[in-house]
Amino acid sequence: MFAGCTPVAPLIRIGDKWTGKIIACLRPGPRRFSELQVPLRGITPKVLTESLRAMERDGLITRTAYAEIPPRVEYELTPLGRSLLEPMAACCGWTKAHLSELLNAREAYKHRAPTPV
Amino acid sequence: MFAGCTPVAPLIRIGDKWTGKIIACLRPGPRRFSELQVPLRGITPKVLTESLRAMERDGLITRTAYAEIPPRVEYELTPLGRSLLEPMAACCGWTKAHLSELLNAREAYKHRAPTPV
DNA sequence: ACCCCTAGTTCCCGCAACGATAGTTACGTA
DNA sequence: TACGTAACTATCGTTGCGGGAACTAGGGGT
C-alpha cells in the first residue's frame, strides 16, 4: 500500500487478514501449528498453512519440523519478521487512539444531510 | 490487522489497494477527482468513487462540491486522515529498509533444499 | 480392529474487490 | 443542433482471498 513507495501490501501479505495477527502471536516465542490455531480464533488449517508458507517464503518466519511421533512443527519469527513489530505497533497505536473518532464519523455519516449536487 | 487490537484493515479500508495511495496523493492539499485519477495510474472512476465515498464515510476526507459549470469537486484530508500519515510513514520506512532482504529471502526460497517432513 | 494424535492437503464454493465499457446530467459554446 | 466538460453511475465480467468440510500419513493406545 501507499503511493510513493513500493507497495507493501501486494508484495508481502501484510494487508491481509491474518499475517499481522500471526506475527503478534509469535512475538513471545516459537509456537506450534495447533498453538496458533487457538488465539487466531477460528482460522481454518488451510488458511493458516497458506499464511505460514507465504511468511516463510518471505523470510518472516522459520519453520522447524521435528521427526517425532506425533509430528511437531515450530514456527518462529526471524529478525526480519521481528522488525515488522515496530511499524505494526505504530498502526495499532493509531487504531487505539482514533478508533472512536472513526466510529463517530461513520455514525454521523448515516444521519447526514442529503448531499447537495 | 494485528492481534491484540481491533483489526484495522477490515474496519477502515486501509489494507486495500487504493486507500493508502489516495491519502498520499491528498497529502499536499485538496485535489479534484480528475487530478486524483492521474497519479493513481489507471484507477477507474467507479473504483475511485467507491474508495472516496468509503473514506468520506469514515471521516478521513471531506468532499466539497461547487455548484459550477462544469462541476467541480474537491477532496481534502481531515485531521483524522492526516493523522494516518504517521503510521503510513512507519510502514513505508520498513519497506524501504527491508525490501531487499525480503526479495532475497524469496529468491533463496525458490532454490531451497526440498523441505524435510 | 478401531479410533486417536498432529500437521497438514484437497476440493469446492461464495463474496467482495477490482476492472472495462458505456451512459448520464446540466450547461456553455460553435 | 451538435459537441465538450467534469464527475460521476450502471452494468457486466473476472479474479482471488478466505472459508467449510472432508481426507491423508504414520504411528500409538486399548
Per-residue confidence (pLDDT) for residue A56, from 0 to 100: 94
What is the arithmetic mean of pLDDT over A26-30? 95
Which among B2, B57, B95 is the nearest to A20, CB-wise? B2
Question: Do A3 and A43 contact (CB within 8 A), yes or no?
Answer: no
Per-residue confidence (pLDDT) for residue A37, from 0 to 100: 94
What is the arithmetic mean of pLDDT over A93-105? 89
Q: In B 50-69, which Cβ lie closer than 7 Å to strand D?
A: 52, 63, 65
Q: Verify whether the Cβ–Cβ distance A59 to B90 is below 8 Å.
A: no
Q: Is A32 helix (H, G, I), strand (E, B) or coil?
A: strand
Per-residue confidence (pLDDT) for residue A26, from 0 to 100: 96
What is the distance in angstroms between the CA of the first residue and the CA of the last residue of chain A? Answer: 32
pLDDT at B15 over 90: no
What is the arithmetic mean of pLDDT over B87-112? 88
Per-residue confidence (pLDDT) for residue A69, from 0 to 100: 84
Stated pTM of the model: 0.87
Nearest Cα of chain A lies from the Cα of B30 at a distance, in angstroms, of 16
Lowest mean pLDDT among A28-32, B23-27, B103-107: B103-107
Q: Which residues of B touch A61 (CB under 8 A)?
A: none
Give the helix, strand, coil percentages of chain A, each rounded to 5: 50, 10, 35
**H or E element in which residue A72 lies:** strand A72-77
Q: Which residues of A touch B65 (CB under 8 A)?
A: 115-117
Q: Which residues of A touch B24 (CB under 8 A)?
A: 2-4
Spell out the residues 6+ positions from residue B66 whose beta carbon is closer than 8 angstroms to its own.
B72, B73, B74
Q: Is the CB of A47 under 7 A from strand D?
A: yes
What is the arithmetic mean of pLDDT over B56-71? 93
More confident residue, B110 or A117: B110
When pLDDT is cut at 50, 70 and 90, the band that residue B111 belongs to is confident
How confident is the prediction for chain A on average, in pLDDT?
84
What is the arithmetic mean of pLDDT over B60-85? 94
**CA of residue A73 to C1' of nucleotide C2, angstroms:** 27
Q: Which residue of B has its CA nearest to A54?
A: B106
Per-residue confidence (pLDDT) for residue A12, from 0 to 100: 53
Per-residue confidence (pLDDT) for residue B60, from 0 to 100: 95
Q: Determine the residue type at A60.
A: L
Nearest Cα of chain B lies from the Cα of A57 at a distance, in angstroms, of 5
- Nucleotide with smallest C1' distance to residue A43 CA: D19
What is the arithmetic mean of pLDDT over A105-113? 86
Give the model confidence (pLDDT) of A35-90 as tens digits: 999 999 889 999 999 999 999 999 999 999 998 888 999 999 999 999 999 988 88
Q: Which three cell numbers stand for residue B108?
A: 533463496
How confident is the prediction for chain B on average, in pLDDT?
85
Q: What is the β-pairing status of strands A72-77 and A61-66? A: antiparallel
